[in-house]
A and B are shown apart, each in its own frame.
Chain A
Amino acid sequence: MSATEITTATRNASAVAPRGAKPKNPFAPRNIMLYGTLIIFSIYYLLPLYVMLVTSLKGMAEIRVGNVFSPPVEITFQPWVKAWSEACTGINCDGLSRGFWNSVRILIPSLILSVSVAALTGYVLACWRFKGSEIFFGILLLGAFIPYQVLLYPLVIILRELGLFGSLWGLVLVHTVFAMPINVLLFRNYFVALPEELFKAARVDGAGFWGIFFRIVVPMSLPIFVVSGIIQVTGIWNDFLFGVVYTRPENYPMTVQLNNIVNSVQGVKEYNVNMAATLLTGLVPLVVYFFSGRLFVRGIAAGAVKG
């Protein structure tokens, strides 16, 4: 039995107990244990972020005499500038900016295509089932569990046949394909829960397949579009394998370029530039994460129950 539990218990028995929370000792052994454990874990989780930040703000001379945790004595933004526009990958030396813009050019069409295809498919599966549609859905869901390695080469062949191998659009297609299972599931489950009367009314009023989709379903489903969008933005931005397999070096996304910069064997290792580059690459998903908050949690929880 502990302080909070008693408090809740009393609060629940509101009629008899005096009103208001019972004053509790913040330094009770239970609290010290509880918050102590949480804080220790928080340190483990926050440490890398801190290390990235301090390292990226130090000069190389300072790094050589200190350790990874020592805060910068003299703050310099030079590593950031260098990481963005001068760092070398072994092929070229124009920094991460190239990878960043490649990732943006991959992200936007992939996002639009994958979310719209998934939404439309989810709509078919929820509202316009036909004979066999559930079977195809089952096959699609199974696809979520196939290791990517099994499908890597078949997709190379498909893309080559389509004349898209090595291009940005090839990669966009690959992202769309692999995003389908989870996103379709997400949209289907959301659309199934919409009130059926709406569809009936719309059909009486003469709306067809596309009319109902664009004028009723889409405007009513903004939250699920956001959730799906968040999953896609982080997924596509963080992808490494597909970028490496399906694009040529000049189209490499940011993650691939980052890895090439940091793990390139030529020259002296500039740890501060490396950490600035790493932080830059992580910035986009971090911003999405911190701004979307609960929706992100909802997205991954929904993604978690796939299958």
Chain B
Amino acid sequence: MSRARSGGAHARPPIRMFRNFSSKLAAIPMVLVGLGVFVGGTIWTIVHSFTDSRLLPRLRWVGFDQYERLWSTRRWLVSIENLAVYGIVSLVLTMCLGFLLAALLDRKIRYEDTFRTIFLYPFALSFIVTGLVWQWILNPEFGIQSIMRGLGFANFNFDPLYNPDLVIIGLLIAGLWQGTGLIMVIMLAGLRGIDEDIWKATRVDGIPVWKTYVIVIIPMMKPVFVTALVLVTSGIVKLYDLVVAMTSGGPGIASEVPAKYVYDTLFTRQNLGQGFAASTMMLVTVAIILIPWAYMQFREKRQ
């Protein structure tokens, strides 16, 4: 048993607290982080979102004023809209692309490792690096637009980073480049987990490969898809660095996102109450996505 017990002259220590003492001592960081930072911090932020804190946090209650102001701020509305558009498109494309690449790699091809390495390496890079490279490639003077014009398409226009209507596309190109590799790896792991006999059976029945994927394999991989879904969505909500590096929210406020709104309100505009309200809304968004998933996991475990 633990040391504490042997210290007590081979008898049980009188106080339960001291049983297994070293283990409890080693668990202190976990308790501090869990309760002190995660729970405590979250509650602190939510509580202060109902105050009129500006430069410094203070507890002067204003009810839902901060939320009312938040939802009537154009910049926040644009941020939410951007996140929704980016989120939905990126989710659909990441899942489709990730699955497609995984399925291609799973076709017993040559150089599988090489291809996998190529598809996954962007994931090792930061969003800052990703954003800056694509900013350069999408540069209208030297990048894709100028090349297409040079090839004879004189009217070819593709300058997403300078066009408020297209800027989300620019972010998507870079975001997908960075993130699809991860989903591909997860999908590939899922595909490898599928029994070879199932492939044999469908082959014997003469079902075409694509049809096997659609009617047999994809339904079987539901848990993998759910994991990937949760992963992608929680990543999307965090979207921040990429925007900062690529567009700084511009042109104008066309590519603002909630995480950037929170940062700017808290640290550059020093409007704390407003920032806390915005971050609480982000938490609510995550909760709306996660609670059904957690419920599903829980139900599956009980069955």
**Which one of B34, B136, B203, B248 lies within 8 Å of A5 (CB-CB)?**
B203
Q: How does the 8 Å CB contact mask read for B245-288 relative to A, with 1 for contact and 0 for none?
A: 10010000000001100110011000010011011101100100
**Which one of A67, A146, A305 lies within 8 Å of B150 (CB-CB)?**
A67
Query: Residue A115 at the B interface, CB < 8 A?
Result: no
B146 close to A67 (CB less than 8 A): yes
B41 close to A180 (CB less than 8 A): no
Task: Give, as a whole number of angstroms, the nearest-CB distance from B134 to chain A.
Answer: 7
Query: Residue A117 at the B interface, CB < 8 A?
Result: yes
Interface centre among B105, B132, B144, B282 (most CB of A within 10 A): B132
A63–B139 Cα gap in the complex (Å)?
A: 12
Task: Give, as a whole number of angstroms, the nearest-CB distance from A274 to chain B.
Answer: 7
Q: How does the 8 Å CB contact mask read for A267-307 relative to B, with 1 for contact and 0 for none?
A: 00001001100100110011011100100110011001101
A140 close to B137 (CB less than 8 A): no
Closest Cβ neighbor of A257 among chain B residues: B128
Q: How does the 8 Å CB contact mask read for A30-41 relative to B, with 1 for contact and 0 for none?
A: 000011011001
Given A1-B203, A67-B150, A153-B276, A209-B30 contact (CB < 8 Å) = no
B128 close to A234 (CB less than 8 A): no
A301 close to B186 (CB less than 8 A): yes
Given A67-B146, A210-B22, A258-B129, A180-B40 contact (CB < 8 Å) = no
Task: Give, as a whole number of angstroms, the nearest-CB distance from B138 to chain A.
Answer: 9
A68 close to B125 (CB less than 8 A): no
- Which chain B positions have C-beta within 8 A of A150? 41-42, 45, 279-280, 282-283
Q: How does the 8 Å CB contact mask read for A236-251 relative to B, with 1 for contact and 0 for none?
A: 0111110011000000
B137 close to A177 (CB less than 8 A): no
Query: Residue B127 at the A interface, CB < 8 A?
Result: yes
- Which chain B positions have C-beta within 8 A of A286? 121, 124-125
**Which one of B38, B278, B280 lies within 8 Å of A142 (CB-CB)?**
B38
A63–B266 Cα gap in the complex (Å)?
A: 40
- Which chain B positions have C-beta within 8 A of A300? 123, 182, 185
A296–B181 Cα gap in the complex (Å)?
A: 12
Task: Count A-B pairs with CB separation below 8 Å.
Answer: 270
Given A68-B137, A275-B136, A304-B227, A136-B24 contact (CB < 8 Å) = no
For the residues of A in contact with B, the DSSP-based class is helix
A146–B237 Cα gap in the complex (Å)?
A: 10
- Which chain A positions have C-beta within 8 A of B206? 1
Query: Residue A221 at the B interface, CB < 8 A?
Result: no
- Which chain A positions have C-beta within 8 A of B30? 121, 124-125, 136-137, 140, 180, 184
- Which chain A positions have C-beta within 8 A of B122? 45, 48
A45 close to B121 (CB less than 8 A): yes
A301–B182 Cα gap in the complex (Å)?
A: 8
- Which chain A positions have C-beta within 8 A of B266? 152-153
Query: Residue A104 at the B interface, CB < 8 A?
Result: no
Given A1-B203, A4-B107, A184-B30, A130-B126 contact (CB < 8 Å) = no
**Which one of B209, B230, B286 lies within 8 Å of A147 (CB-CB)?**
B286
**Which one of B26, B115, B144, B262 lies within 8 Å of A124 (CB-CB)?**
B26
Query: Residue A154 at the B interface, CB < 8 A?
Result: yes
Task: Give, as a whole number of angstroms, the nearest-CB distance from A170 to chain B.
Answer: 13
A128 close to B2 (CB less than 8 A): yes
A239–B240 Cα gap in the complex (Å)?
A: 11
A51 close to B133 (CB less than 8 A): yes
- Which chain B positions have C-beta within 8 A of A266? none
Query: Residue B290 at the A interface, CB < 8 A?
Result: yes
Given A67-B143, A140-B30, A150-B280, A240-B127 contact (CB < 8 Å) = yes
B37 close to A154 (CB less than 8 A): yes
A140 close to B45 (CB less than 8 A): no
- Which chain A positions have C-beta within 8 A of B119? 41-42, 45
**Which one of B108, B142, B244 lies within 8 Å of A63 (CB-CB)?**
B142
Query: Residue B33 at the A interface, CB < 8 A?
Result: yes
Given A34-B107, A128-B20, A128-B23, A153-B272 contact (CB < 8 Å) = yes
A289–B22 Cα gap in the complex (Å)?
A: 37
Query: Residue A90 at the B interface, CB < 8 A?
Result: no
A145–B177 Cα gap in the complex (Å)?
A: 23
A59–B12 Cα gap in the complex (Å)?
A: 77
Task: Give, as a whole number of angstroms, the nearest-CB distance from A147 to chain B.
Answer: 4
- B25-39 residues with Cβ-Cβ distance < 8 A to A are 26-27, 29-31, 33-39
A129–B26 Cα gap in the complex (Å)?
A: 11
- Which chain B positions have C-beta within 8 A of A109? none
**Which one of A49, A158, A262 lies within 8 Å of B37 (CB-CB)?**
A158
A297–B187 Cα gap in the complex (Å)?
A: 12
Offer 20 A-B interface pairs, CB within 8 angstroms, sorted by A. Answer: A48-B133, A68-B137, A68-B143, A120-B26, A120-B29, A133-B27, A136-B31, A139-B34, A139-B35, A140-B33, A146-B38, A148-B238, A149-B278, A150-B280, A244-B263, A255-B128, A275-B133, A285-B124, A285-B126, A286-B124
Identify the B interface with A (CB < 8 A).
1-3, 6, 19-20, 22-24, 26-27, 29-31, 33-42, 44-45, 57, 100-101, 104-105, 107-109, 115-130, 132-137, 139, 142-144, 146-147, 150, 177, 181-182, 185-186, 189, 200, 203, 206, 209, 227-228, 230-231, 234, 237-238, 240-241, 244-245, 248, 258-259, 262-263, 266-267, 272, 275-276, 278-280, 282-283, 286, 290, 294
Which 6 A-B pairs have CB atoms at the shortest separation, nearest pair first?
A238-B126, A154-B41, A128-B23, A143-B38, A209-B22, A289-B124
